[in-house]
Amino acid sequence: MLQLSEFPRMTTLASLEHAYELCRQITAKYAKTFYLGTLLMPEAKRRAIWAIYAWCRRTDELVDGPAARLTTAKTLDEWEAQLESAFAGNPADDLDVALVDTIKQFPLDIQPFRDMIAGQRMDLYRSRYETFEDLNLYCYRVAGTVGLMSTVVMGVQPPRSTTPWDCGQSQTTPTEEAVALGIANQLTNILRDVGEDARRGRIYLPQEELARFNYTEQDLMNGVVDNRWRELMCFQIQRARKFYAQAEKGINVLSEDARWPVWAALMLYSKILDAIERNQYDVFRCRAYVPNVRKLLCLPTALLRAKVL
Ligand SMILES: CC(C)=CCC/C(C)=C/CC/C(C)=C/CC/C(C)=C/[C@@H]1[C@@H](COP(=O)(O)OP(=O)(O)O)[C@]1(C)CC/C=C(\C)CC/C=C(\C)CCC=C(C)C
Ligand SMILES: Nc1ncnc2c1ncn2[C@@H]1O[C@H](COP(=O)(O)OP(=O)(O)OP(=O)(O)O)[C@@H](O)[C@H]1O
Ligand SMILES: [Mn+2]
């Protein structure tokens, strides 16, 4: 379990190489889309993203994984204490060895990590969201934060269009765009998993919006796909796309070597929305996914966008 031991450590921790390898394996296993993106990055950044991914995944698993029913507020407090230790340079386990190294290599701020834990706390106590404002806060916490963490690792660089006399000016980090991509991804994830989540008692779609489209919780539980549902989904998809569009504007401010992976991740994840439309919004009976060939076919376009946009 994730409990911090009160006793001095008796076992030795993994080597740095092994710790990063474990993080790589977790990313490759759980997130094919993001893993593909990380393979397009230089080694040092890629390893750091794997370490962050492994930490985010572990945080998510506490409330979403197979042992989630054992998770209490205290578990999350202990997890936060373990995070504080990592930021103080003390790894509590093998995966933390990589995280501690990543924290040394990149100027990461602890706040987005804390905010993500706060997002998982919401999942522990909350299963309904009244307005989009409420849902937006949840999305910032569980996913916008990933954008903030990743941006620090990827770094910024002035866009190519910058005139020579601008050189040397400090580049502002595209914080809002990074958060927007996290939110876009999370909204996509919510739309794809609507049926699965409802069966687990969680409804992320704002209550206010269900009511506006005259679609009830009971309809959701029964997987009703009719005009009310299609119009509701169409509205949700348009909103997610606005967040993707906002995120796109920040990509050319990132370091050149990060632009291709981020374009790739953005394009691949947003294609899940296209898949939902192709399935005529029936997220209850058909899982919306992007086939591997389609993912690969996206890569040259993503590269082109990274080079010219
Ligand atoms: C290529 C790259 C830089 C990727 C970042 C990878 C990373 C560190 C991901 C962490 C994801 C994670 C485990 C988050 C925990 C909470 C959670 C589950 C969020 C959902 C992710 C989906 O993951 P999952 O594997 O569960 O998906 P499936 O359900 O299995 O399909 C989320 C949807 C959120 C993911 C959010 C991001 C990856 C943020 C992206 C933003 C950036 C990389 C910033 C880019 C910068 C600019 C300026 C645009
Ligand atoms: N190329 C595919 N062919 C057939 N089924 C697929 C394919 N991709 C995904 N699926 C189905 O969707 C499930 C999970 O897909 P999902 O889209 O979450 O992929 P993933 O591997 O978790 O990567 P990511 O979430 O990062 O896109 C698979 O277990 C499978 O049922
Ligand atoms: Mn997945």
* Beta carbon of 3 within 6 Å of any ligand 2 atom: no
* DSSP state letters, 79-123: HHHHHHHHHTT--SSHHHHHHHHHHHHS---SHHHHHHHHHHHHH
For domain 14-111, the question of CATH label 1.10.600.10 is answered with yes
Ligand nearest to the CA of 271: 2
What's the chain's Rg over C-alpha atoms? 20
pTM: 0.91
CA of 166 to the centre of ligand 3 (A): 42
Residue 3's pLDDT is 47
Residue 148's pLDDT is 98
Residues in a beta bridge with 254? 156
Q: Do domains 14-111 and 126-155+173-309 have the same CATH topology?
A: yes
Boundaries of every domain in the chain: 14-111, 126-155+173-309
* Ranges under pLDDT 50 in the chain: 1-4, 168
CATH fold label, 126-155+173-309:
Farnesyl Diphosphate Synthase (1.10.600)
Residue 8's pLDDT is 57
Residue 124 near residue 75, CB atoms below 8 Å: no
CA of 141 to the centre of ligand 3 (A): 19
* pLDDT tens digits along 234-283: 999 999 999 999 999 999 999 999 999 999 999 999 999 999 999 999 99
Q: Which atom in ligand 2 lies closest to the alpha carbon of residue 290?
A: 8
Q: Is the ipTM of this complex over 0.85?
A: no
Nearest CA to ligand 1 atom 4: 34
Residue 126's pLDDT is 94
Nearest CA to ligand 2 atom 21: 32
* pLDDT tens digits along 290-306: 999 999 999 999 999 99
Residue 237 near residue 218, CB atoms below 8 Å: no
CA of 216 to the centre of ligand 1 (A): 30
